[in-house]
Amino acid sequence: MSFGQTWRTFLRAFKLSYDHIGKVMVTNLLWFSLGFGPMLAFSYLPFLQNDAFFFIAIVTGFVTMGGAVGAVHYRMNRVVLGEETVLKDMWEGFRLYWLRGTILVLLGVLGVLLLVFNIWFSQNYPPILFMALSGLWVWGIVFWAALHQFVFPFLANQDIGVIKALKRSALIVLDNPLPTLLLLILSVVVVALSLLFAAPLLIFVASFLALVQNCFYHELMTKYEIEEQSNSVEVEGEDKE
């Protein structure tokens, strides 16, 4: 994908979000309520504000967030494909992906924490080797974040396991560095603006990012489908000869 194709894909996602603004907002509100539900309960219900429930809220938060993100991608992918989608698709997506989504969210957080710790360790121990490795860990965070742009689209479209989703996401990132980097930059800008203005986090950001990521997924996979069809035609031609 060229820069122009990348920009057009982003604009397509923006247009889809505008055309389906009601679905986008309701889906995002459900994502927010489900994903942050345990922590919201801990924060706003005084009788739950104790150490035991705080621990429960953190543990269940990974489950609810993993399922909620999977549900958002399931519904928004149907929008990208031009299929009819109703509110109960959120429950269907949650039911299908809560376990795999939980594992992916947990791995994502643990991966970032490990890389950040490595950067801290490298910066605080003076040997040149450790200092040199700190730059490598920074790129590791970028790669890890880029990879996670595609894991849920792979789940929503191919219904595969966690390991396969991670492997295929890694391959698509390595094979398409420019569009992946641009997608990551656009996603960071959207998230930063949402945190700055607060309201988009509640009504827009998760659904919009799911639309963008699934649009990019389909655009990139088209390339591989064309290549596969071309290879099949060549093989058939050789067989005829």
Task: State pLDDT tens for residues 181-194.
Answer: 988 998 888 888 88
Give the domain extent around 126.
Answer: 3-230
- 17 part of a folded domain: yes
- 143 part of a folded domain: yes
- 237 part of a folded domain: no
- Separation CA 142–CA 116 (nearest Å): 11
The yes-or-no verdict on residue 167 having pLDDT over 70 is: yes
The yes-or-no verdict on residue 224 having pLDDT over 70 is: yes
What's phi and psi for 117, nearest 5 deg? -60, -40
The most confident of 173-177, 201-205, 219-223, by mean pLDDT: 173-177
- 239 part of a folded domain: no
- 110 part of a folded domain: yes
Q: Could you tell me the CA-to-CA distances from 240 to 230, 231, 232, 235, 236 in Å, in that order?
A: 16, 14, 12, 9, 6
- 38 part of a folded domain: yes
Task: State pLDDT tens for residues 96-147.
Answer: 999 999 999 999 999 989 888 877 777 776 666 666 666 677 888 889 999 9
pLDDT of residue 235: 47
Compute how many other C-beta atoms are within 10 angstroms of the C-beta atom of residue 66: 24
Residue in 103, 102, 180 with CA at minimum distance from that of residue 147: 180
Number of domains in the chain: 1
- 241 part of a folded domain: no
The secondary structure of the chain in percent helix, strand, coil, rounded to multiples of 5, reads 90, 0, 10
Match 């094979």 to its residue by tokens: 175
- 78 part of a folded domain: yes
What is the model's pTM? 0.86
